[in-house]
């Protein structure tokens, strides 16, 4: 039994720059499908995403992993096995919350699966539980091991042989798992590519079938209308019996046929417009990316302008403080001048009195 998808969402995928460990590098040009998978044969959970023919995410979930929401629409987690950090950008906060909740559930399920796997492994290999007591018993009763072909020697041989067999079995299982993982990655890439192509073909086929059925229905209606008009023309010719009325009916029928042909041409033009829109989607995606780049440039310029405004505000505050200090100093000088003027007036009055005397 292969892996089964349990949850899927669409997001822009990023990986941390291995050189700086700070900047994000886009792993996909546009939003791709990111899915949680459960492998029943190995009892493990993984997050897988495929872009084109390349697996851009192949992360096995462990109980030690943590998914962190760093903004309203962005989240990340570290994968020590892949030696990288994955980042996902969603279009809505709801999609981010759904992915975070699913990550938490799968992480708990992985923890329970690991505990059950360890319990089954210990039950299937009882030598792991009895090896230590045997060795301790042999250390305490070491003298009997000196006897040739004695019971102590037989116990020691069995314990060591069980440990060797267990080590060999572990190495063999590790090798099989590593080889199986590489094969599974290649097969998963091919499988996702085929599934993506199949989905596109099915969608195109359904669209074509619906269009064909629509045109068939309209054609049948036009044929019924044409037959009805022809029957009316025949009835009129039979009733009137002179060519003038028949000629008028033929002209009406001709006009109706011309209208039908014009309608069919208009429908053909609509089909061509729909086909041309397929190429417009790529251009729209390119324009959207250019708009996002321009938006980032504007945000960066906005941040620079904000820094300049803050610097100008600091300078203005400093200038205002200096102006206030200057006004205070001028006030002090004016007070001193007023005192000096009062003193001069007093001297003038004293001089005037002396002169009068």
3-state secondary structure of 34: strand
Count CA atoms within 13 Å of residue 24 on its CB side. Answer: 15
Average pLDDT, the chain: 77
pLDDT, tens only, 313-342: 888 888 788 888 888 888 888 888 888 888
| pLDDT at position 138 | 37
Which single residue is written with the structure tokens 């493990």? 44
Q: Is the model's pLDDT at 48 over the cut of 90?
A: yes
- The mean pLDDT of 268-291, rounded to a whole number, is 74
Domain boundaries, the chain: 5-123, 255-319
Q: Specify whether the CB–CB gap between 93 and 72 falls below 8 A.
A: yes
pLDDT, tens only, 69-86: 999 999 999 999 889 999
Q: Are strands 24-26 and 32-39 parallel, antiparallel or unpaired?
A: unpaired
Instruction: Write down the H helix ranges in 141-150.
Output: none
Q: Specify whether the CB–CB gap between 15 and 84 falls below 8 A.
A: yes
Tokens of 208: 């074509």
The answer as to CATH 3.10.450.50 being correct for domain 5-123 is no
Q: Is the model's pLDDT at 281 over the cut of 50?
A: yes
Q: Is the model's pLDDT at 312 over the cut of 70?
A: yes
- The mean pLDDT of 228-236, rounded to a whole number, is 81
pTM equals 0.37
| Angular region, 21: left φ>0, alpha ψ -120 to 50, beta rest | left
pLDDT, tens only, 110-128: 999 888 877 766 666 555 4
Q: Is the model's pLDDT at 279 over the cut of 70?
A: no
Confidence of residue 152 (pLDDT cuts 50, 70, 90): very low
Interaxial angle between packed helices 243-356 and 151-240, expressed in degrees from 0 to 180 and rounded to the nearest 10:
120
Q: Is the model's pLDDT at 2 over the cut of 80?
A: no
- The mean pLDDT of 259-271, rounded to a whole number, is 82
Q: How many CB atoms lie within 10 A of CB 8?
A: 14
**DSSP assignment string, 312-334:** HHHHHHHHHHHHHHHHHHHHHHH
């Amino acid at each position: 039994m292969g892996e089964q998808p349990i949850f899927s969402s669409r997001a822009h995928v990023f990986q941390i720059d291995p050189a700086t460990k700070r900047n994000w590098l886009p792993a996909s040009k546009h939003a791709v499908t990111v899915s949680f998978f459960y492998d029943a044969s190995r009892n493990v959970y993984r997050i897988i995403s495929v872009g084109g023919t390349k697996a851009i995410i192949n992360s096995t979930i462990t109980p030690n992993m943590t998914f962190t929401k760093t903004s309203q629409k962005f989240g990340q987690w570290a994968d020590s096995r892949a030696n990288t950090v994955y980042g996902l950008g969603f279009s809505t906060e709801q999609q981010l919350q759904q992915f975070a909740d699913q990550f938490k559930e799968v992480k708990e399920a992985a923890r329970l699966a690991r505990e059950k796997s360890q319990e089954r492994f210990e039950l299937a290999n009882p030598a792991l539980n009895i090896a230590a007591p045997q060795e301790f018993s042999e250390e305490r009763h070491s003298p009997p091991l000196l006897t040739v072909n004695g019971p102590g020697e037989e116990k020691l041989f069995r314990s060591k042989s069980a440990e060797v067999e267990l080590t060999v079995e572990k190495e063999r299982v590790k090798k099989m798992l590593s080889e199986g993982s590489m094969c599974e990655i290649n097969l998963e890439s091919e499988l996702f590519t085929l599934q993506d192509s199949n989905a596109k073909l099915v969608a195109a086929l359904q669209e074509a079938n619906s269009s064909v059925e629509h045109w068939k229905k309209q054609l049948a209606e036009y044929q019924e209308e044409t037959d009805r008009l022809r029957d009316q023309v025949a009835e009129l010719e039979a009733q009137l019996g002179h060519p003038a009325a028949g000629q008028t009916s033929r002209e009406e029928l001709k006009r109706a046929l011309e209208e039908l042909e014009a309608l069919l041409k208009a429908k053909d033009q609509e089909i061509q417009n729909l086909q041309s829109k397929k190429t417009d989607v790529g251009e729209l995606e390119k324009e959207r990316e250019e708009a996002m780049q321009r938006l980032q440039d504007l945000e960066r310029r906005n941040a620079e302008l904000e820094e300049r405004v803050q610097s100008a505000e600091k300078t203005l505050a400093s200038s205002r403080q200096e102006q206030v200090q200057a006004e205070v100093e001028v006030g002090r000088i004016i007070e001193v001048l007023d005192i000096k003027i009062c003193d001069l007036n007093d001297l003038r009055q004293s001089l005037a009195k002396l002169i009068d005397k």
